[in-house]
Amino acid sequence: MAVPGSSGTPELSMLKLAREAKHGAYTGSQSMGVIHMYDLMNGGNTNGSTVSYPTLNTACDPNPDDCAGTEQYAALSGENPSGGSITVYYRSDIYSSASDFANSEGAVAYSNNTGSARHSAGDGYVFIYSGCSNEVNLDSNGQSTYTEPIC
């Protein structure tokens, strides 16, 4: 996807980037409706975009957090919403500690240490770390949408 420019600095526009992604027409006039950055970067419309976008980079889905090469994982104990024990993996190259991870909305909870599988959506996960724990809700992408310490 290229951004055309006519006099030096190209004009960046979310609407125009969406047109380029869907129709190959950065300067087009198509109506795009709601544009969600996640959908634009990763394809589809699962996060609320009106238009379903094509997948742009199949070697790195979703962008940018799960790209292979530099990620490192750490584990912490947890419980799933039905009370069963689980191991939760998180990106230790992004979060400085288990506490930092457990208290971050938008953090991704993986079910393995390679980043290729995520925990299922659900309310009432418990992430346990030194001296504390958090109740966490996960969306369909394995990302926390709610986190509350229950120390």
Same-domain pairing of 52 and 4: yes
Which pLDDT does position 61 carry in this prediction? 46
| Domain co-membership, 104 together with 125 | yes
Alpha-carbon distance 95 to 102, whole Å?
9
Alpha-carbon distance of 103 to 93, in angstroms, equals 16
What are the strands of the beta sheet with 122-129, ordered from one edge? 85-91, 73-79, 122-129, 132-138, 144-149
pLDDT of residue 133: 95
User: Which pLDDT does position 1 carry in this prediction?
Assistant: 52
Instruction: Indicate if 144 and 77 belong to the same structural domain.
Output: yes
End residue of a domain, out of 19, 47, 64: 64
H helices of 1-151, in order, are: 14-23, 37-42, 98-102
Q: What percent of the chain has pLDDT over 90?
A: 44
pLDDT reading at 16 higher than 90:
no
Note down the domain range covering 46: 1-64
Cis, peptide link before residue 10, omega less than 30° from 0 = no
Distance of CA 120 to the CA centre of its chain: 14
**115 and 87 in one domain?**
yes
Confidence band, pLDDT 50/70/90 cuts, at residue 8? low
Note whether 77 and 59 are same-domain residues: no
Q: What is the pLDDT of the chain when averaged over all its residues? A: 84
User: Are 60 and 78 contained in the same domain?
Assistant: no
pLDDT, mean of residues 78-101: 93
Q: Are residues 58 and 98 in the same domain?
A: no
Q: Is residue 138 located within the same domain as residue 82?
A: yes
Name beta bridge partners: 135: 126, 148
Q: Is it the case that residue 2 has pLDDT exceeding 80? A: no
Q: Is the pLDDT of residue 136 over 90?
A: yes
Q: Looking at the 3D structure of the chain, how many domains does it have?
A: 2
What mean pLDDT do residues 129-137 have? 94
Q: Which residues contact residue 57 at a Cβ distance below 8 angstroms, ignoring those fewer than 6 apart?
A: 63
Name the phi and psi angles at 36, rounded to 5: -110, 130
Q: What is the pLDDT of residues 35-67, one digit of tens each?
A: 988 888 877 888 889 988 777 655 454 544 445
Work out the number of other CB atoms within 10 angstroms of the CB of residue 90: 25
Q: Which residue has the higher pLDDT, 135 or 25?
A: 135
Distances (CA, A) of 142 to 34, 56, 106, 126, 150: 23, 21, 9, 14, 21
d(CA 78, CA 71): 21
